[in-house]
């Protein structure tokens, strides 16, 4: 049974921890507002650009002149997985949910006889995947020194992907990230970016109403690299908002748990102190009666 001094020290330690988790919760809440605004502001542009490229892709169809980023290599032997996680922990299951989805995809591809290559964005994802898939790593993007995620960061990742694709290093590229829904809900998402894959939009026949100058193929050849960068940028922004939301929720739970632990330790401390006082009184009374 711990002594009164041990209990008192432990209560003080938990109180200090609670102060830290409360401060981290408030910092995450402040960062979340900005990150959420950035993620939500980027969605309309990304959706509209996706719709434009989807219409152009439907017009081009399966023609031989279709850009390589749209048509692909004609094979799906080698897959590039871009796993985007945080540089820091203490954000609940945020990193684990992304890695779990990526690990399941990698295992599925390997079981099907495919070649898997992995690019990690964020230290936590690399640490979790290192044990099982270290031999599949081809690159790592360190964003620990970046104070604010910008389009330049996404563009450098997109350029690297397109460069590797042009040099025949892979056939299909998929990015993994968490899509922000709310503070307590982040959706692990896998999105294919190379070759470009668009959801079938309703009313695609309306594309015939437009005459493009230059041709659809030339416009797509210019838009597709930007589209890859836009998708990567959107994923980074969604990840940033999801990370802060997850951290805020995790630190709130940690603060509550610390409070509950303090209450339990305080009750245990009071009971132990009362028992010690009672024993001292019994000893005094017993000694007095013996005289």
| Residue matched to tokens 């684990």 | 96
Reported as type and span, the H/E element at residue 96 is: helix 94-111
Cis ω before 128 (30° cut-off from 0): no
CA distance 94 to 126: 14
- Three-class SS of residue 137? strand
203 sits in the region (left: phi over 0; alpha: psi -120 to 50; else beta) called left
* Spatial separation of the C-alpha atoms in residues 90 and 93, rounded to whole Å: 9
Catalytic residue among 91, 121, 207, 224: 91
Q: What distance lies between CA 120 and its chain's CA centroid? A: 11
Could you write out the DSSP letters of every residue in 142-167?
--TT-SS--HHHHHHHHHHHHHHHHT
Any catalytic annotation for residue 91? yes
Strand order in the sheet with 137-141: 137-141, 115-121, 78-84, 172-182, 185-194
Reference 162, options 44, 101, 82; nearest CA is 82
Query: What are the residue numbers of the active site?
Result: 91
């Amino acid at each position: 049974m711990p002594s009164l001094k041990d209990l008192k020290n432990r209560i003080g330690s938990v109180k200090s921890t609670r102060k830290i988790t409360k401060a981290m919760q408030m910092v995450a809440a402040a960062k979340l507002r900005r990150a959420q605004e950035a993620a939500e502001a980027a969605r309309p542009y990304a959706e509209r650009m996706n719709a434009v490229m989807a219409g152009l892709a439907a017009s081009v169809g399966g023609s031989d002149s279709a850009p390589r980023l749209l048509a692909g290599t004609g094979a799906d032997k080698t897959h590039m997985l871009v796993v985007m996680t945080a540089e820091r922990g203490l954000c609940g299951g945020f990193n684990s949910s992304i890695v779990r989805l990526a690990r399941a995809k990698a295992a599925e591809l390997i079981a099907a006889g495919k070649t898997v290559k992995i690019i990690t964005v964020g230290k936590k994802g690399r640490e979790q995947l290192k044990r099982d898939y270290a031999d599949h790593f081809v690159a790592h993007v360190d964003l620990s020194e970046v104070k604010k995620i910008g389009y330049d960061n996404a563009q450098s990742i997109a350029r690297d992907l397109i460069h590797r694709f042009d040099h025949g290093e892979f056939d299909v590229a998929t990015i993994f990230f968490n899509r922000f829904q709310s503070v307590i809900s982040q959706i692990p998402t896998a999105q294919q970016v190379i070759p470009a894959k668009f959801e079938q939009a309703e009313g695609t026949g309306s594309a015939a109403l437009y005459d493009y100058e230059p041709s659809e193929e030339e416009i797509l050849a210019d838009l597709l690299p930007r589209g890859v960068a836009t998708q990567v940028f959107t994923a980074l922004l969604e990840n940033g908002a999801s990370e802060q939301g997850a951290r805020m929720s995790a630190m709130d739970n940690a603060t509550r748990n610390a409070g509950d632990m303090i209450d339990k330790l305080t009750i245990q401390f009071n009971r132990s102190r009362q028992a010690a006082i009672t024993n001292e009184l019994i000893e005094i009374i017993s000694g007095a009666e013996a005289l």
